[in-house]
Structure formats: C-alpha cells, structure tokens
Amino acid sequence: MIMTENATHPELHDFPAARLSVEHVTKTFETQGGRVVALQDVSVSIHEGEFVCFVGPSGCGKSTLLNIIAGLEKPDHGKALINGTPITEPGRDRLVMFQEHALFPWLDVIDNVMFGLKQKPNLNNRERMEVAKYYLYLVKMDNFAHANIYELSGGMKQRVALARSLAPNPKILLMDEPFSALDAMTREQLYGDIQDIWQKRKKTIIFVTHNVREAVCLGDRVLLFSPHPGRIREEFAVKLPRPRNINDPALADLSRTITTALKGYDSEAD
C-alpha cells in the first residue's frame, strides 16, 4: 500500500532542527590563468525549514558555496556549521541534487529511490520499500515505480532524482540548478510540485539558479551573489503567498527589481 503524506513511519519524521551557518568563508582556486577568488568573506545563516535561493552570474561562487555546505569542498578560511558543528566532510544529513539526474540505468525507478536507503541499518527491506513508495507518491511517480529509467522523459527522471534525494530524509537538501535542462512547461509543473513537497515536509532547501524568476517563485529568501570575487551582496525576502505561479505579475515585479540589482553588480565588475 502506498503511504500518504500523513504516514507515520519513523523514517519519515524530520531530523532535529538544523541551523546552518556560514562564517567568513573564503575559497580560492588555482587555474591556468592564475589564482581565482571564488568566494570572499561570505557569511549567512539559514534556519530550519527555510527555502533559500542563491542567484548570480556564472563564476560568482554560488555552486562553490553549495559544495562547501555539502562537505565536497573545504574553505581556505572560515567555516560552515550545522547547529554549531563544523562541516568537514559529506554526511547523510545533507544531500545534493545536481542538474544531471545521475540515476542508475540498470535499476528501475523504485530501486533507484531505495538505493540511498540501503545505507540505513535501522530499516528492513519492506520498510525501505514503504519509504520509497511514499516519496514516489509525493513526486507523482508512484504509477511508474517499476518503469525502466530509459522509458522516462527528462522531467520524470528529475522527479525520480528528487524522490531519491528526499528518501534518506536529510536535514538539508542542496539543489544545484536541477531544472535548468528541462523545457519551460516541465519546469513550470515542477515549480508547483517542489513547493507542495516543501510545504508538506518543511525540509531546509538551498537552491542554486541563474533564473531570477525561478528563485522568486520558489524561495523564502533570494541571496544575490556578485562576481569576482563572489560575495553575497544583497538579500530579498519573498513574502508572496504560496503556492506561487511563475507567471504571476507580482512575482514578475519582484523579479525585475532583483534583476536590476544583479545588472548593477555586473557593471561594477566590468
């Protein structure tokens, strides 16, 4: 039986509160063209259950900061912390969803979602199946549980990737431009779905995007990054009611304001 959003399995309960803090983080890379400062003295706090979007041009350090939070990169200076504990390596409390779905083609849909759950020793196979079915239900893919990955459209693959990311119940879901390769209609459908899932699960989400309107549609806050070196220059609280429609005129108005600010940072860099 497929579980509903009122399911009571303990694995579906949230982790304890997760407050994320980034304190004075600086990160540089050595390239053939010389030393590049990807991030300079970046600080930000994100509360449990917030949906925060990082927006900025290519090369502004937003994905680098996401990787530092994930534990995939180490800062040169400063630190990232969860509830006061420094992040030094990847952990099950943080999962990353990338632009590419990275599903295993030799597994069917439900086995892909169950894959991460195999690392949870407190679950037996039946319980893993229940949890996987629940998250496939949330992303509207429960009718495709036994489909092969090659049979799915791009949008369906991203839904499965989202279910796989949510199934281990991380404290923080890190999303790095997950919808950028999809067509406009599919993206619009996913905007509604991710808002619905976020309101049901209240998961902390950090979402990286170049698309200002996408950020305003999804985020509680939009943090603007300036390039060279990457810094958080400004933030905008998005107080529009949910669920939000990407074509809402009020959303378009705030998007224009943010876009104007970003263009100002680009001109400063020039």
Q: Which domain holds residue 149?
A: 10-269
Q: Parallel, antiparallel, or unpaired: how do β-strands 172-176 and 231-237 relate?
A: unpaired
Question: Does residue 254 fall inside a structural domain?
Answer: yes
Question: Does residue 169 fall inside a structural domain?
Answer: yes
The answer to whether 234 touches 226, Cβ cutoff 8 Å, is no
Question: Does residue 31 fall inside a structural domain?
Answer: yes
CATH of the domain at 254: 3.40.50.300
DSSP the chain: ----TT---GGGSPPSP--EEEEEEEEEEEETTEEEEEEEEEEEEE-TT-EEEEE--TTSSHHHHHHHHHTSS--SEEEEEETTEEP-S--TTEEEE-SS----TTSBHHHHHHHGGGG-TT--HHHHHHHHHHHHHHTT-GGGTT-BGGGS-HHHHHHHHHHHHHTT--SEEEEESTTTTS-HHHHHHHHHHHHHHHHHH--EEEEEES-HHHHHHH-SEEEEEETTTTEEEEEEE----SS--TT-HHHHHHHHHHHHHHHHHHHHH-
Instruction: Look up residue 51 and give its amino acid.
Output: F
Question: Does residue 154 fall inside a structural domain?
Answer: yes
Hey, how many other C-beta atoms are within 10 angstroms of the C-beta on 268? 11
pLDDT of residue 116: 76
Question: Does residue 4 fall inside a structural domain?
Answer: no
Which of 243-249's residues contact partners 24+ apart within 8 Å by CB, and which partners? 243/192, 243/195, 243/196, 243/199, 244/191, 244/195, 244/216, 244/217, 244/218, 245/217, 246/187, 246/188, 246/191, 246/213, 246/214, 246/217
Whole-angstrom Cα distance, residue 214 to residue 180? 10
The dihedral sign for the CA sequence 145, 162, 59, 22: negative
Buried residues in 150-180 as b, exposed as e (16+ CB within 10 A): eebeebbbbbbbbbbbbbbbbbbbbbbbbbe
Question: Does residue 3 fall inside a structural domain?
Answer: no
pLDDT of residue 267: 58
pTM for the complete prediction?
A: 0.87
Question: Does residue 136 fall inside a structural domain?
Answer: yes
Burial of 247 (0-12, 13-18, 19+ CB in 10 A): exposed
- In tens digits, the chain (270 residues) has pLDDT values of 344 444 444 444 444 455 899 999 999 988 777 788 899 999 999 999 999 999 998 888 999 999 999 999 999 999 999 989 999 999 888 999 887 778 999 999 999 999 878 777 778 888 899 999 999 998 999 999 999 999 999 889 989 999 998 898 888 999 999 888 888 888 888 999 999 989 888 889 999 999 999 999 999 999 999 887 899 999 999 999 999 999 999 999 999 999 999 887 665 655
pLDDT of residue 173: 94
List of residues 6+ apart from 100 with CB closer than 8 A: 181
Question: Does residue 216 fall inside a structural domain?
Answer: yes
* Number of structural domains in the chain: 1
